[in-house]
A and B are shown apart, each in its own frame.
Chain A
Amino acid sequence: MRELSLNILDIAQNSISAGASLTEILVKENTAEKTLLIGIYDNGKGMSEEQVKNVQDPFFTTRTTRKVGMGIPLFKLAAEQTGGSFKITSELGVGTRVDALFKTDSIDFTPLGDIAATVSTIVSMNEDKDFVYTRSVDEKDFVFKSADIKKILDGVPLSEPSVINWIEDYIRENTEQLFD
């Protein structure tokens, strides 16, 4: 993946497939420690201990069309190649938590990329699910909750192009404020 935000788009899709009604996405940057933490937390159906082990193996997939599943292994590699760390914890019937820690000063650090486009894509394509996106830079943070937006939209679908574009710009502008 060329951007970490594409990994996020991919991993969040797992949460949706797991039937999560709420998925939280956290992107937390610590400029002093030069770290970036990406967390994807859901209340989906969860995984057994064995499944947690399996999803980290590139030669495992739940798909029947082929024998490889690269989503989690690629994300794990992206974190570990920076000298960071990767962790999945899961409980059946409760949900799954994925945490990836990146060292941003590593030469192998993949840029975060267009996270605003990623979040607006996830939110707009999954009308019936809720998402909370938290972007934090040192002491400042910005929280975007799809439930708040849906309340304002009052039945207008999130997939309306004008709405998608607004979400994207809203996230982009609020993120820029964090760096002022």
Chain B
Amino acid sequence: MKSLEELLAIKEKAQAQIAARDADGNDGIRIVVGMATCGIAAGARPVLKALTDEIAKRNVKNVSVTQTGCIGMCQYEPIVEVFEPGKDKVTYVQVNAEKAVKIVTDHIVNGKPVIEYTVGAVTE
């Protein structure tokens, strides 16, 4: 059974990690998931969860996952956008939990965008 004491332990561990992260600077990658009616109906919630889980599992630093409203291409939802400082935005479309994991491992961790999941490749 989860307890509030357990949360206290999680807090202490997280505080140490945050301190280490701040020391590394804060110019990280931003991942944005479309979570309007269209995105949610298409399965954005498990995508968001898969992204945060994979990032946590691989202990990737300097990456934030946030949500946004309707991106304007509802038929391609769930949509995930990756903003990397100094690089063009990459827009992934029709993402599911499995694709989300690959986006984290290939793009976020290894720096190679997954071209076949991008809006350019899918709408071709």
Closest 4 CB pairs of A and B: A161-B56, A170-B2, A71-B37, A156-B14
Q: How many residues of B contact A (CB 8 A)?
A: 35
Q: Cβ of B8 < 8 Å from any Cβ of A?
A: yes
Which positions 63-81 of chain B face chain A at CB distance < 8 Å?
A: 64-67, 69-70, 72, 74
A125 to B17 CA separation, bound complex (whole angstroms): 19
**B112 interface contact, C-beta 8 A:** no
Is B24 positioned at the interface, with any CB of A under 8 Å from its CB? no
Of the 9-residue stretches B44-52, B87-95, B115-123, which lies at the interface with chain A? B44-52
A162 proximity list for chain B (CB < 8 A): 10, 13-14, 56
A6 touches B40 (CB 8 A): yes
Interface contacts (Cβ under 8 Å), in number, total 88
| Residues of A near any B CB (own CB < 8 A) | 1-2, 6, 9-10, 13, 17, 63, 65-66, 69-71, 74, 114, 117-118, 121, 125, 149, 152-157, 159-166, 169-170, 173-174
Residue B23 is within 8 A (CB to CB) of chain A in the complex? no
Which has the most chain B C-beta neighbours within 10 Å: A6, A155, A156, A174? A156
Name which residue of chain B comes closest to A170, CB basis.
B2
Which of A63, A70, A156, A174 is within 8 Å of B11, CB to CB?
Answer: A156
A164 to chain B, nearest CB (A): 6
Known: A125-B67, A161-B56, A169-B2. A152 touches B37 (CB 8 A): no
Alpha-carbon distance A170/B53, docked complex (angstroms): 17
Does B114 sit within 8 A of A, measured CB to CB?
A: no
Q: Hey, what's the 0/1 contact readout for B100-123 against A, CB within 8 Å counting as 1?
A: 000000000000000000000000
Choice from A9, A63, A71, A163 contacting B14 with Cβ under 8 Å: A163
Closest CB in chain B relative to A7 CB, distance in Å: 8
**Cα separation A10 to B65 with both chains bound (whole Å):** 18
Does the CB pair A153–B70 fall under 8 Å?
Answer: no
Knowing that A10-B41, A66-B74, A117-B49 touch, tell me 19 more A-B residue pairs with CB under 8 angstroms.
A6-B45, A10-B37, A13-B36, A63-B70, A65-B70, A69-B37, A70-B38, A125-B66, A125-B67, A152-B11, A155-B15, A156-B14, A157-B18, A159-B52, A161-B55, A162-B10, A162-B14, A170-B7, A174-B2
Complex interface: chain B residues within 8 A of A170 (CB): 2, 7
Closest Cβ of chain B to A94, distance in Å, is 24
What chain B residues lie within 8 Å of A152 (beta carbons)? Answer: 4, 7-8, 11
Closest Cβ of chain A to B73, distance in Å, is 10
A47 to B36, CA, bound (A): 20
Contacts of A174 in B (CB 8 A): 2
Given contacts A161-B56, A170-B2, A173-B1, contact A156 B15 (CB under 8 A): yes
